[in-house]
Amino acid sequence: AGQSGSGTGSSSDADVGSNSVLTYQLISNPSFSLALRENPGGKKQPELVLERALDREKQSSFELVLMAVDGGDPARSGTVQVRINVTDANDNPPVFSKRIYEARVAENLPVGSLVLQVLATDADAGSNRKVSYSFGNVPDDVAMLFSIDSESGEIRTAGPLDFEENSKYTFDLEARDGGGLTDKCEVQIDITDVNDNTPEITILSLSSPVTEDAPTGTVVALLKVRDRDSGENGQVSCELSGEAPLSIVASSVENWPGRTGP
């Protein structure tokens, strides 16, 4: 919707008497009507009056034809064309194309990479249509790891991601038009694992030396092996190299440290 105009028109007829009595007519337009106003001098002036609410987003201008008819016989008429432009009011908020935007990226994504792009549109015109994007109330880690381009809506990485640190980020974004109307959306970013961790071996205990009469099956060393990656990337197999009458036996993690040698 927008600002309306009411215009006053004035016509004249050089004839005198009934030949100069003018009637006015507005050629069919449901948005405007004609009213006659008598000014202090007694002269009647037609006024163009707005009949219903305008909506610039539906119709941004009107072409009206005003006709004045005199009282002569035969009557003579004159017409004038009136163009009315409707200016924009900020009556539409920006609207995000989705309520929730989702992306899935690998944890080794280089800093500055595009993660996803959001879009909000606004039906108004000019600055009322111009949308800028910003983070809502986001945790510090989100603000440190991601950046949003206020004009394009592009979300990029701003720091190194780490699946082992955090595998999912959820935060709000805001779109604001030039007149201050806003919309919100949610962004969900899933981080996927990359095999970026090497297995770590820790010796928890070691019995050395071992007596030569130690029975077969004696536990000589207790080892802990782990890999911070997940899935197949985190599965570890152990093997022993070198010449020794020893073998590696898997024991479940849950048993340690309750477990002692036999």
Ligand X SMILES: *[C@@H]1O[C@H](CO)[C@@H](O)[C@H](O)[C@H]1NC(C)=O
Q: What is the smallest separation between the CB atom of 83 and ligand X, expressed in angstroms?
A: 6
CB-neighbour burial class of residue 180 (10 A; exposed 0-12, middle 13-18, buried 19+): exposed
Strands (E), the chain: 23-26, 32-38, 44-50, 61-69, 77-85, 95-96, 100-106, 114-117, 120-121, 131-135, 146-148, 154-157, 168-177, 182-192, 200-206, 221-226
Q: Which residue is nearest to ligand X (CB)?
A: 85
Q: Which one, 8 or 12, has the nearer CB to ligand X?
A: 8
List interacting residues with ligand X (CB under 6 A). 61, 85
Q: How many angstroms separate the Cα of 163 from the Cα of each of 63, 104, 108?
A: 62, 12, 9
Q: Which one, 85 or 195, has the nearer CB to ligand X?
A: 85
Q: What is the smallest separation between the CB atom of 5 and ligand X, expressed in angstroms?
A: 9
Q: Which one, 7 or 160, has the nearer CB to ligand X?
A: 7
Q: What is the smallest separation between the CB atom of 35 and ligand X, expressed in angstroms?
A: 21
Q: Which one-letter DSSP state was computed for residue 193?
A: P
Q: What is the smallest separation between the CB atom of 61 and ligand X, expressed in angstroms?
A: 6
Q: Which one, 39 or 85, has the nearer CB to ligand X?
A: 85
